[in-house]
Amino acid sequence: MGVYLAHNAANNLRLRGIKSGFDFLFQPAGFDIGEALIDYDSAHSYLEAVLVGLLNTLRVAVIGIVLATVIGTAVGIGRLSRNALLRGLCRVYVEFFRNVPVLLQLLMWYLILTEMLPAPDEPLYFGAGFYLSKGGFNFPLPEWAFGHFTLALGVAAGAMAAFAWNLRERRIFERTGKEPRVLLAAIGWLLGLGVLGWVLGGAPHAMRMPEAGAFAIEGGGAVTPEFLAVLTGLTLYTAGFIAEVVRAGIQAVPRGQDEAAKSLGLSSAQEMRLVLLPQALRIIIPPLTSQYLNLTKNSSLAVAVGYPDVVSILNTSINQTGRAVECIAIIMLVYLATSLFTSALMNWYNARAAIRER
C-alpha cells in the first residue's frame, strides 16, 4: 500500500510538472543560519543545513530534558513538604506553568530577553567573564588543547568506575542491608580521574574570555536569546508536568512504607531517597517518558521565536525548492527517530528500575 501511494504521488507530481525527489539535498542551500554548532555557510548543501537544524533541535531537547527533570523532581517533592510556604510556592509554580500555553511562554521569554535586558554595549556583568544582554549570554571558553582530550578520557573512565562501584554497593546492600555509598563515590571517581587525565595532558588552562566592545561582546562562547527563550520556556513548562508525575508517583507508594521508614528512625531526606523514590520510580517512569517526548516535539514551536531548528530550516527549504512532500517527510522522520530512541532508552531504564520479587 505504501509503495502504491508513493508511486501514485510521484506520477501525479510528474504530470503536473512538479519536481520531486531528494536530489535537492546535495545542492547549495543559498541561505545562512544564525546559530550553528558546526561550520556552515550559504555555500553548503541543504543536507548540511538540515544537519545544523537537527543538532540545534537535539541541543534544546537534551539540555531541556535534563533541566526539566531536575526542576520537576524538586518541585514535585516540594509539593509534599511539611512546610506550608514551600508547598504553596510549588503549587503556584505547577498551576501557572502547566496552564499557560507553551507557545505563549516561549513568546513571553523571548520578549523578556530581547526587550527588558540591556543592549549589548551595556551588558549585565556577573564577573569571571559572564555577560547577559539582548545579544544573548556570553561566557568563557577554554582554548582547545590535547589536555582536554585526556580530560574527556579521564571522565569517561571515571564514569565506568562509578558504574562498577554502584554494582558493588548494590551487591553489598542486598547481602548485608548496609546503606550504599554511591553519590559521593561517583563524584569522586569522575573528578579524580578527570583531573588525572587533565594533568597528564599538560594541565591546559588558557581561556578565551569575552570582552565588551563598542557595539557587541566579542570572544568566548555565546548562546542567542532565541535559544535561551526556547530552552527556558520548554524547561519550565515541562517541569510543571514532571512535578505532578513525581508527586503522584510518591503518593502512590503504600502508606505503610512511610510509617515503616519513620519507625526505623530515618530522616525525611533518607525516607524520600531510600524508601519512597525507589518504589515510586516504577510508577513515575512511563508518564515521565511521555513528558520527554512532548518536550522534544514541542521544540518545533521554536520557529515562532526565530530559533533555527530542523522545522524552521526545512520550512525555508520548502520555500526555496518547492519540495514540500520531501521536506515534511524528513521532519516526520526526525521526530519519529528521536521519539523511538527516547522511548527505547526509557523502557530500558524502566526495566532496570522495576522491583524484582524474590
pLDDT tens, position by position, 142-178: 888 888 889 889 899 989 988 888 888 878 877 776 7
- The pTM for the full model equals 0.85
pLDDT value for 356: 62
pLDDT value for 9: 67
The CA distance from 316 to 308, in Å, is: 10
Count CB neighbours of 277 within 10 A: 17
Q: Which residues are registered as beta bridge partners of 161?
A: none
Q: What is the dihedral of CA 255, 257, 259, 264, to 10 degrees?
A: 180
pLDDT value for 17: 62
Answer yes or no: are the C-beta atoms of 296 and 335 closer than 8 Å.
Answer: yes
The CA distance from 218 to 208, in Å, is: 10
CA angle centred on 45, ends 336 and 222, rounded to 5°: 75
Q: Which residues of 206-232 are buried (b: 16+ CB within 10 A; e: fewer)?
A: eeeebebeeebbebbebebbbbbbbbb
pLDDT value for 147: 83
Place of cell 515541562: 238
Q: What are the C-alpha distances in Å from 271 to residues 61, 134, 278, 279?
A: 32, 45, 10, 11
222 phi and psi angles, rounded to 5 deg? -155, 150
Q: What are the C-alpha distances in Å from 15 to residues 7, 70, 98, 300?
A: 12, 55, 49, 33
pLDDT < 50 positions in the chain: none
Count CB neighbours of 101 within 10 A: 10
CATH topology of domain 2-143+206-353: MetI-like fold (1.10.3720)
pLDDT value for 18: 64
Q: Where are the domains of the chain?
A: 2-143+206-353
pLDDT tens, position by position, 249-280: 888 888 877 777 777 777 777 777 777 788 88
| Helix (H) / strand (E) containing 290 | helix 277-298
Sequence-distant (≥ 6) Cβ neighbours of residue 20 within 8 angstroms: 9, 10, 13, 14, 323, 325, 326
pLDDT value for 171: 82
